[in-house]
Amino acid sequence: MRTKILVVYFSRTGTTKQAAEIIARKLKCGCGEIGDECDIKSHGIIVFGTPVQNAGLPPEVSDFLKGNDLRGVKIYPFFTTGGIYRYVIHDLKSLCPLSRINEPIYIYNRGSGNAVEENINLICSWAEKICAQEGIQ
Ligand SMILES: Cc1cc2nc3c(=O)[nH]c(=O)nc-3n(C[C@H](O)[C@H](O)[C@H](O)COP(=O)(O)O)c2cc1C
């Protein structure tokens, strides 16, 4: 049985959402925002996207991870960031100590222009790498 994959994201101003939707299209899988009725527990692989806030995870994301047991789940994280993100991967690892956390990507958002369009090659090549790794045609 193929492991089910889901893209889950949090987004305040739409950047992370836009990236999440592109990644989900590439992975041919569902996409939901935290707090949506997405059945996160039935998925063995979560592609998880969030903006960086105060160099770490936003409180909404920390609360979500505290309330959802992701032990054993493989997580592919992506972050949208103004460039200061030193705590974010540490925050994620400490809230999901029993998950298998893959190497993240950081999507740089300068705050002017469209960060997703500017980083479309990074986003697509990362999604393609996940497809190859997980056997998604
Ligand atoms: C309140 C607030 C705090 C932020 N703090 C940081 C930060 O510490 N480091 C950083 O790199 N970006 C920071 N940012 C920038 C966001 O991470 C960035 O704009 C992100 O792409 C927004 O994603 P969204 O459109 O999905 O909400 C902050 C943005 C806000 C609104």
CATH number at residue 113: 3.40.50.360
Q: How far is CA 124 from CA 27, 76, 105, in A?
A: 10, 14, 11
Whose CA is closest to atom 2 on ligand 1?
53
- How far does residue 136's CA lie from ligand 1's centre (Å)? 31
Q: 3-state DSSP: the chain helix, strand, coil percent, rounded to 5?
A: 40, 25, 40
Only one residue has tokens 């030193």, namely 86
Out of 12, 22, 60, give the residue to mutate to test ligand 1, the one with the largest number of ligand atoms within 8 Å of its CB: 12
The model's pLDDT over 87-117, given as tens digits with 9 standing for 90+, comes to 999 999 999 999 999 999 999 999 999 999 9
The model's pLDDT over 11-51, given as tens digits with 9 standing for 90+, comes to 999 999 999 999 999 999 999 999 887 778 789 999 999 99
- How far does residue 40's CA lie from ligand 1's centre (Å)? 25
Q: Which domain holds residue 62?
A: 5-134
Ligand 1 neighbours by CB, cut-off 6 Å: 11-17, 51-55, 80-85, 109, 115
Q: Domain total for the chain?
A: 1
For CA atoms 51, 60, 88, 33, give the dihedral sign.
negative
**What is the pTM (predicted TM-score) of this model?**
0.96
Q: What is the pLDDT of residue 93?
A: 98
